[in-house]
Amino acid sequence: MKLWLVEPYYTGSHKAWADGYRAHSRHSVRLLTLPGRFWKWRMQGGAITLAREAQSLQENPDLILASDMLNVPTFLTLGGDAVAGIPLALYFHENQLTYPLQPGEKRDLHYGFINLVSALRADAVFFNSGYHLDAFCNELPRLLKHFPDYNELWAVEALRAKASVLPLGLDLIPYDAYRPSQSASGRPLILWNHRWEYDKDPATFFRAIYALADEATEHQELDFGLVLLGESFRNQPEEFLEARERLPDRIVHFGYAQDAATYARLLWQADIAVSTAWHEFFGAAIVEACYCACFPVLPRRLSYPELIPDAYHGACLYDDFNGLVARLRYALRHVEETRSFSLRSEVRHLDWRQMAPRYDDMLEEVVAHHSSH
């Protein structure tokens, strides 16, 4: 089967997803992409350029797989004969109805509307988590009720009827090459491996860290180091710079890992992976940390309860700030237990070598269903 994977925002996790699926699919996958910048323009105008590229190709695919950054109706209209009659599946990495806003920013509903009409036009819609699917569908009535008339509330159930959960595939096996040969020793390391942005709530993370650092001055068994990974941007939260000033002796690494090998080695060195996020549609960073044998301490919200098997919710998930500190305190105080805990086998199925056949099967079903109708 021949597929076109259309990605207007080819960078970061979107690029990793596209490249990973192409590399591991049993199908022939051609990428149609644009550089990952100017995201608003990509959602508005990227379909024009990509439709022109589609028309230039001397082939017709059996299926088009597009990301949520594509304006699907525009692409299919302008693509003409090159895309006529070809089924299209839409994959939601994120959506523009529930994606968190910068402080003081007002949501532009136009981009959520592009998500909606793209999903309605697609033959099948996939979300990277059940939480994400529910969050989008639950917010849709609010968008539709902004219309002055003809609210079209039927669209919510129409979308749900063709929506499925298809987790993100990740390239996990390469981390094995960096697995240390000796067991960990010394003070435990607490890991942050998320974007340095407000929606990941670094303020709460560092508030907990400072509380534990104060306790550690009197209780040596609570001693710890910090690995602060993640991509930072122009308007990065000030909490990270403050932490570098207040905790210089605890910080083992500060800033973005410049290559995959460095990132992998630091994940394996870390003992406890923490999230305080208020936004997470999937949780790739936590999956990577769990694969490298980190003990996860996560909020009982967003997509995290899906990532962690029910049997481990009591040990890994917290409900409030006090719960966060308590989970961390226990993990530090019982460091040997923490280091022996592993969810590696529970997340291994998310590696592309197992996920790509699942993608292949589900996309074949889309083609078969389209052909039968």
Instruction: Tell me the per-residue pLDDT of 281-303, one tens digit each, with 9 for 90 and over.
Output: 999 999 999 999 999 999 999 99
Overall average pLDDT of the 119-139 stretch: 98
What values do phi and psi take at 65, rounded to 5?
-110, 120
- Pair 102, 80 in one domain: yes
Overall average pLDDT of the 74-83 stretch: 96
Secondary structure of residue 226 in the 3-state scheme: strand
What was the pLDDT predicted at 311? 96
At 102, the pLDDT band (50, 70, 90 cuts) reads: confident
What was the pLDDT predicted at 99? 87
What was the pLDDT predicted at 184? 78
The Cα–Cα gap between 109 and 97 comes to 7
- Pair 344, 356 in one domain: no
Overall average pLDDT of the 223-228 stretch: 97
The Cα–Cα gap between 320 and 299 comes to 8
- Decide if pLDDT at 354 tops 80: yes
- Pair 256, 156 in one domain: no
- Decide if pLDDT at 4 tops 90: yes
**In one letter, which amino acid is 276?**
T
Q: 254 with 228: CB under 8 angstroms?
A: yes
- Pair 203, 275 in one domain: yes
- Pair 59, 72 in one domain: yes
- Decide if pLDDT at 74 tops 90: yes
Overall average pLDDT of the 306-319 stretch: 96
- Decide if pLDDT at 261 tops 90: yes
Q: How far is C-alpha 251 from the geometric centre of its chain's CA atoms?
A: 26
Dihedral of alpha carbons 201, 204, 208, 213, sign:
positive
- Pair 51, 185 in one domain: no
Q: 358 with 242: CB under 8 angstroms?
A: no
At 83, the pLDDT band (50, 70, 90 cuts) reads: very high
- Pair 141, 196 in one domain: no
- Pair 132, 142 in one domain: yes
- Decide if pLDDT at 237 tops 90: no
Q: How many residues does the chain have?
A: 373
* CA nearest neighbour of 116 among 130, 100, 98: 98
Helical segments of the chain, H only: 12-24, 39-56, 72-79, 109-121, 130-144, 154-161, 202-216, 239-246, 260-269, 284-291, 304-307, 313-316, 321-333, 335-340, 344-347, 352-372
Overall average pLDDT of the 299-327 stretch: 97
- Pair 151, 184 in one domain: no
Instruction: Tell me the per-residue pLDDT of 133-185, one tens digit each, with 9 for 90 and over.
Output: 999 999 999 999 988 999 999 999 999 999 999 999 999 999 999 999 887 77
What was the pLDDT predicted at 373? 80
Overall average pLDDT of the 198-206 stretch: 95
Q: 345 with 309: CB under 8 angstroms?
A: no
- Decide if pLDDT at 263 tops 80: yes
- Decide if pLDDT at 234 tops 80: no
CA distances (Å), 253 to each of 190, 261, 308, in order?
Answer: 11, 14, 27
The percent of residues above 70 in pLDDT, for the chain, comes to 99
What was the pLDDT predicted at 345? 95
- Residue 323 is encoded by which pair of tokens? 């719960």
Count of the separate structural domains present in the chain:
2
- Pair 365, 233 in one domain: no
Token pair 């994606």: residue: 99
Question: Taking the CB of residue 104, how many other CB atoms lie within 10 A of it?
Answer: 5
Q: 119 with 125: CB under 8 angstroms?
A: yes
- Decide if pLDDT at 233 tops 90: no
Model confidence pTM above 0.85: yes
- Pair 182, 82 in one domain: no
- Decide if pLDDT at 82 tops 80: yes
By residue range, what is the domain housing residue 245?
173-350
Q: What residues pair up with 295 in beta bridges, in sequence order?
A: 272
* CA nearest neighbour of 270 among 230, 312, 322: 230
Query: DSSP for 248-291?
Result: TTTEEEES--SSHHHHHHHHHH--EEE---S--SS-HHHHHHHH
Q: What residues pair up with 228 in beta bridges, in sequence order?
A: 192, 254
Query: DSSP for 305-331?
Result: HHHS-GGGHHHHEESSHHHHHHHHHHH
The Cα–Cα gap between 199 and 145 comes to 27
What was the pLDDT predicted at 104? 81
- Pair 88, 215 in one domain: no
Q: What is the CATH number for 207?
A: 3.40.50.2000
